[in-house]
Chains A and B, each alone.
Chain A
Amino acid sequence: MAQTTSLSKKQIQIIERLSNAMAISGDEGEVRKIILDETSPYTSSHKIDSLGNLLIEIKGKGRNRVKVMLAAHMDEVGFMISTDEGDGIYRFETSGGIDLRQLPGKAVMVGKDHFPGVIGARPIHLTSAKERKETIPLSSLRIDLGPGMKSIKPGDGATFGTRFQQIGQSMMGKALDDRLGVGILIDLIKDPPPNIDLQFAFTVQEETGLRGARVAAFSFDPDLAFVIDSTPANDLPTWDGEENHNYNCRLGEGPAIYRADGASFSDPRLVRLTEETAIKEKIPYQFRQPGGGGTDAGSIHTQRSGIPSISISIPGRYAHTAAGLARISDYLNTLKLLKATLKSIPANILEQERK
């Protein structure tokens, strides 16, 4: 059912670069640099605010232009070095929501130079059957960079040492949440719809409480906002073979439009516009199941006197682990739907009934 064409080699290269980069919350400079590299030929100016948000405005043509903010977060979950124990062994804290069960036995990279390291585990031979049923606590985990390491210090960032791969119609890599959203915004900057004023916010600190988007929305003072993120696709078989009613969204079924999550309700006018556009343009789409979780819309929609907002996500399996998985068709259809929706925003959208 998906209208699959394919990503250009250049688009894949950008997503690969973004996925392999390291940008834990509060230290997003590496991703910011990639975005600037890619977008500066297409923009006249940009601003980096005091938290590190990268703000780019592209003005449209014509009268009565609506000001639309587009947000995607640059940061990813990861780790911060907390103690140097000597001989290349380091204690660390987690940054953002990470399930500790994902950490033992993994490759990581540490610091600005991406030094390779590992999080090991006690050899199975030395464990008891009882011990193997217990989650290894963070206090027992270490990052091992090898005994020669001297230059890594407490406060340095770290993340999974995963390298991006394209596998058939899928993309596998770390931090697809939300580098896919960042990629979509870069693609939009290169080919912006001309009818509206676009305000691009590449935000910081989404993973630690939607903090960058809050101040970016204040600065931009938009009429409305679209937040592009990646939401979990839990479309796997259930343990008891029953039908999966908690899939959240599914890979390959198009962009996931939010109506409600744990942090905000999408503005019904924007939901209607997006859905009608998808139907009209024959772009596959799905509604994300209402539930917990949140995107930057959670802090944008209550900024100033209120900013009507909507979240649209690229479905992604295994977020916040060493490697996520997303479909190329979903990326393309998200980009297509967003472009088409932005093009069809009526100047009087906020005068419409909210029903």
Chain B
Amino acid sequence: MNDIFPFLKNLTSASGLSGYETHVAEIIKEKWFPLVDEIQVSQVGSLHGVKRGKSDKPQLSILIATHMDAIGLMVTNIDDGFLSFTSIGGVDPRVLPGQPVYVHASGKKSKDHKPLPGRVVQPSNFLLPPEMTSAVVPIERLIIDTGLTSKQVIELVQVGDLVSFAQEPLALSGETIAAHSLDNRAAVAALTICLEELQTMIHRWDVWAVATVQEEIGLVGAYTSTFQIRPSLAIVVDTTWAKGPGSDDWNTFPMGQGPTFLFGPNIHPKLHGTFKDLAEKLEIPFKIEITGRHSGTDAFATQVVAEGIPTMAICIPIRYMHTPVEVATIKDIQRTGRLLAQFISQLDDDYMKSIELE
């Protein structure tokens, strides 16, 4: 297996906010191109790579969905060269002061929309309403400083320009990575490992590797790609909350001890059972994650496309989700990729019959 770390670093250095995934999509396309038979981009920008199976019967297919969009910010106002902004996706304003960002400037003088480096800053207490001098400063009062003059900013930046996080990925000890957008680029990396493993394995089913768009703001890619491909099964790979500083709740999972298998109304119970049995057989550790309602993943969408698609969801535990310093272990990503490949290789022509509900 190739070392996934450099690719994951590329993925988490890229922008690709919900609705504007082109940059990261290009990086994924280049990586997947030699691993699949055909690659397409959907009407809404999702990436579809298909690796054909060996079956001679009417073709069964499996779709593996990993969303590639990331949370971020968007410029709402420009005042004397300083930018006000709002968030795209769920961002806790408490992680923003001091945060490095790129402003994707679209103004007339911005050549090729080259990203402008900047920082989110919390204005000095002297410049804030009195009640905010020791309280959390809400997002409307934070600003972005690009270091450029007011005149330069007006020529470069426009209201509506995207702002992505610019924190560089960091290799922490114990084969862990800290980066922005590990939700959900860690899952894209796991799917890539799966495709790499499949190069030397035999599989009867067609495999659709899909990088979906706009998960963070309404599962847009998951609904549309699943409809277009109309697979027999859908597997969603996402991230979940790891235990760690600030989150030791009952619904968090240890990092480095395998992925979680979601269970709940979004999940097909027999498909879930197959994954459990297979992981036990392969001695791949996992935890069961109960999601009683909306799973918070693309699985909520894939399950109800067309006449309904049996769906399973696997999540990689990461720390500090939706901050620019999310942390994941490479081991959990590798385990998830390997498990997906093993699952695909054991799918036969009768599998769909075996999971029919009584």
Contacts and interface: CB of A to CB of B under 8 A. Distances in A.
B91 interface: yes
Interface in B241-279: 241, 244-247, 249, 251-252, 255-256
A244 B127 contact: yes
Interface in A94-124: 99, 101-102, 104-107, 115-124
Central interface residue in A117, A127, A239, by most chain B CB within 10 Å: A239
A318 interface: yes
Given A105-B324, A120-B323, A122-B246, A148 B175 contact: yes
B82 A237 contact: yes
B127 A123 contact: no
Interface string B72-114: 0000000110100000001111111111100000000000000
A145 B320 CA distance: 13
Contacts of A212: none
B23 interface: no
B122 A101 contact: yes
Given A88-B173, A142-B245, A146-B176, A101 B92 contact: no
B6 interface: no
A135 interface: yes
A135 B170 contact: no
A237 B173 CA distance: 42
A64 interface: no
B149 interface: yes
A300 interface: no
A132 B152 CA distance: 35
Given A121-B92, A236-B143, A105 B256 contact: no
| Contact residues on A (Cβ < 8 Å of other chain), bracket | 35 or more
A89 B245 contact: yes
Contact of B172 (A88, A119, A132, A160): A88
A5 interface: no
A282 to B, nearest CB: 22
A238 B117 CA distance: 23
Interface string A245-266: 0101000100000000000000
B178 interface: yes
A121 B94 contact: yes
A168 interface: yes
A119 B252 CA distance: 18
A118 B178 contact: yes
Given A124-B90, A167-B147, A118 B327 contact: yes
Central interface residue in A120, A136, A234, by most chain B CB within 10 Å: A120
B147 A144 contact: no
Nearest to B323: A105
A301 to B, nearest CB: 26
Nearest to B143: A236
A239 to B, nearest CB: 5
Contact of A133 (B96, B122, B136): B136
Contacts of B91: 124
Contacts of A186: none
B148 A106 contact: no
B148 A167 contact: yes
Contact of B178 (A116, A167, A236): A116
Contact of B320 (A121, A148, A239): A121
Contact of B296 (A106, A117, A125, A323): A125
Contacts of B126: 234, 246, 248
Interface string A133-154: 1111000111011111100000
A205 to B, nearest CB: 24
Contacts of A135: 94, 134-136
A175 to B, nearest CB: 13
A232 interface: yes
B338 interface: no
A104 B94 contact: yes
Interface string A319-332: 00111010000000
B247 A123 contact: yes
Contacts of B251: 126
Given A105-B95, A148-B174, A89 B296 contact: no
Contact of A321 (B97, B152, B245): B97
Contacts of B185: none
Nearest to A236: B123
Contacts of A147: 173-174, 176, 255-256, 329
Given A126-B247, A147-B256, A325-B119, A118 B322 contact: no
Nearest to A142: B245
Contact of A167 (B117, B137, B168): B117
A317 interface: yes
Nearest to B84: A237
6 contacts: A104-B94, A107-B170, A135-B134, A136-B246, A148-B173, A325-B145
Instruction: Give me the 7 closest cross-chain CB pairs, A-B, nearest first.
Output: A148-B174, A105-B95, A146-B172, A120-B320, A170-B147, A148-B173, A142-B245
Interface of A: 88-89, 99, 101-102, 104-107, 115-127, 132-136, 140-142, 144-149, 160-163, 165, 167-170, 172, 232, 234, 236-240, 244, 246, 248, 252, 317-318, 321-323, 325
Interface of B: 79-80, 82, 90-100, 116-117, 119, 121-124, 126-129, 132, 134-137, 141, 143, 145-149, 152, 167-168, 170-176, 178, 241, 244-247, 249, 251-252, 255-256, 296, 319-325, 327, 329
